Amino acid sequence: MSSYNIQSQQLIDDFMTMVRIDSPSKDERAMADWLTARFKELGCEVEEDKAGEEVGGNAGNLRVFLKGNTDVAPLLFSSHMDTVEPANGIEPVIEDGVIRSKGETILGSDDKAGIACILHLARMANGQPDVPRGDLEFSIHICEEIGLLGAKYVDTGKFHAKMGYILDDHDPRQVCIGSPSAVRIDYKVFGKASHAGVEPEKGISAIKVVGEILARMNFGRIDEETTANIGVIKGGTASNIMTPLVEMKAEARSHNPEKLEKQVAHMNACFEEVCKEWRDKLGENLPKYEVDRSDDYHAVSFTTDDYLVKLALSAGKTLGWEMGTKISGGGTDGSVLTHLGIPCVVLGVGMQDVHSTNEYIKISDFEEAANLVASIVENHANGVVV
């Protein structure tokens, strides 16, 4: 057991307060102000960066520092304060030990449950100053849900901690030791407009071209390490116009860099081949396509021999749990911070069915997450890794 005393009602109260604060991506100002006030009340130093200005938002990332009482290496804990939509006017309710949204909104446990655990760690450290702990740093980010944008502007040189944990997953008893690389790809397919009822022969429907491209393309689950998706397709203005332009947003992910590049090359080749076949058939310079690729985040891989993993597994065992490891198909701010030089392992906080109006969190899982964080801090300070 941890020497820290988890105050379950305070943990829940903080969470219920936070989810009622609207904080969709790029509109986290109220959330940042509330957190700044709470951390300062608990004796923490708080600094807000300029990430909001870089991404067109109204608040920046928060860097929070809490002095420890031992000389062990500092630890970093991180979560994000933004939420997906629909996120305005969230009204949380508790039913049979489960917190969920009352209305037609998400709950916001992704990732305010993570922030609540971090805030509770600060509360416990402030209220129990004799429990051994090193310096603690908290990095609370904006705009995670729209491309991990806030984390990409974190100045890691300002942090004392050189290792940490991201509280942004599901099961507190499963330590995430791997996540994929991901690329985002924007495509444009150019056809030619004409009157669809009078002279369709003079036009080239970009929609029809795209249909052939998609029929040829392999996406979805590619293999055990690789996925791809076409997530957005838009184009056209009226039913009587041959569509001259279709825009598409796509992505590919893989734990294997070679497989990732192979999948992206396959997707691009489908556009190239179909457009060329049309041009050869029509004898024109249309249809054609444009592609804009951006590397979203990089693969992360840890083993059970890595200290961060051993420490988390040991902390769970200290609490009497059976712990395990997992590989994730998604990216987190940990992908970014690890690439920037601060290795970060992802931990679960109990969130379930995230990014949907069915989102919920069991209070028992939530409490376990807070206990795990406290146990990690104490075991690290005492050199307990079993």
| pLDDT digit string, tens, across residues 192-204 | 999 999 999 999 9
Catalytic option among 14, 27, 82, 171: 82
pLDDT band for position 384 (cuts 50, 70, 90)? confident
Is 144 annotated as catalytic?
yes
Is 135 annotated as catalytic?
no
Q: Sign (positive/negative) of CA torsion 139, 143, 149, 155?
A: negative
Q: How many helices (H) and strands (E) does the chain have?
A: 10, 18
pLDDT band for position 103 (cuts 50, 70, 90)? confident
pLDDT tens by residue, 31-58: 999 999 999 999 999 999 999 999 999 9
User: Which H helix or E strand runs over 41?
Assistant: helix 29-41
This prediction has a pTM of 0.91
Helix (H, G, I), strand (E, B), or coil: what is residue 17? Answer: helix
Residue 170 has pLDDT above 90, yes or no: yes
Percent of the chain beyond pLDDT 70? 100
Identify the CA nearest to 349 among candidates 182, 112, 123, 133: 112
Return the number of other C-beta atoms located less than 10 Å from residue 272's C-beta.
Answer: 13
pLDDT tens by residue, 314-337: 999 999 999 999 999 999 999 999
pLDDT band for position 385 (cuts 50, 70, 90)? confident
Catalytic option among 14, 144, 296, 359: 144
CATH hierarchy code of domain 183-297 = 3.30.70.360
pLDDT band for position 352 (cuts 50, 70, 90)? very high
Residue 1 has pLDDT above 90, yes or no: no
8-179+299-382 has CATH 3.30.750.200 classification: no
Average pLDDT over every residue of 296-302: 95
User: Could you tell me the residue ranges of all domains in the chain?
Assistant: 8-179+299-382, 183-297
